[in-house]
Amino acid sequence: MPIPSDPLQWRVGLVGYGEVGRILAEDLRARGIARVGTFDPKLDGDAAAPLREHAHAHGVTLAATHAELAAGADFIVSAVTASQAVPVAEACAPAIRAGTWFLDFNSASPGARRRAAQLVDGAGGRYVEGAVMTSIPPYRIRVPLLLGGPHAEALAPLAGALGFDAKVASAKLGVASATKMCRSVMIKGLEAMVIESFTAARAYGVEDAVLASLAETFPGIDWEKQGSYFFQRVIQHGRRRAEEVREVAQTVREAGLEPWSATGTAERQAWMADLADAGVFGDKDAPCGDWRVEADRILARLGTADTRRDG
């Protein structure tokens, strides 16, 4: 069966039904896409019930395997953790029909993108890298998206018809990815630095002085609000962020630099994820929204809360 020329008639397959997959499913269905399916190993796990209920509520069909999803899709969006970008392409490729679009939404290094593209294009599909340039929830499907690769120019207007805010970065694979990953050195690094700086400042009782100094140096940033937002996002998504920053580190290595900053950022993000999984922050899916409360929880866990402001 040929790929329909009208994107609104496409059968869309979402690999990954986490936060991103669910947002895309909701927005694609609202756009009028009748056939949206998904595959995610977590749909059969202990926490599967809420995900399956969400899929049922939004008319999203569940596939049993990557291959089943790929075989029935005209347009595949891979939205998984960074380390799974190439394995997903490998799992989908044997079942992809000729001409199927494959949009890689993952935060993977340029090298990983090229490996995934070889798998998909080698099977007759059309691989396009997609670099998501900011946090998805505020924008949803309209999040700024850079496309890359030899098929990017052809996909851009079709993706626009589906609701994506996509523009072409380059016909060369890896350019869009490098743009995002180099940006992430800063953005994810800033998250890690804020958590480290603010928590240590809280331990010494100098947080107000630190924030006042930051506000004087960077007057355009509300550090109180920004700090709470960074804590919240890392508590909720530290595990995924840590994987992404490991890919960021690989991107830096591919450029010939030792990724000292990115490596440290990945460790801090993973450390926060460990604390969240241990229940330090309560319900990690509903953080309190106050960085000071979260910092105190960290200090209590470390056994240093009672020594704050000593001396």
**What is the pLDDT, as a whole number, of residue 205?**
96
For residue 101, count other CB atoms closer than 10 A to its CB: 25
What CATH number should be reported for the domain whose range is 177-302? 1.10.1040.10
Rounded Cα distance between 132 and 134, Å, is 6
pLDDT, tens digit, for every residue of 234-291?
999 999 999 999 999 999 999 999 999 999 999 999 999 999 999 999 988 888 889 9
Q: Is the pLDDT of residue 111 over 60?
A: yes
pLDDT, tens digit, for every residue of 167-215?
999 999 999 999 999 999 999 999 999 999 999 999 999 999 999 999 9
Rounded Cα distance between 304 and 98, Å, is 60
**What is the pLDDT, as a whole number, of residue 2?**
87
What CATH number should be reported for the domain whose range is 7-172? 3.40.50.720
pLDDT, mean of residues 50-58: 95
pLDDT, mean of residues 60-74: 97
CA distances from 135 to 155, 234, 251 (A): 22, 12, 20
Q: Is the pLDDT of residue 50 over 80?
A: yes
% of residues, the chain, pLDDT over 70: 98
DSSP H/E element including 11: strand 11-15
Where exactly are the structural domains of the chain?
A: 7-172, 177-302
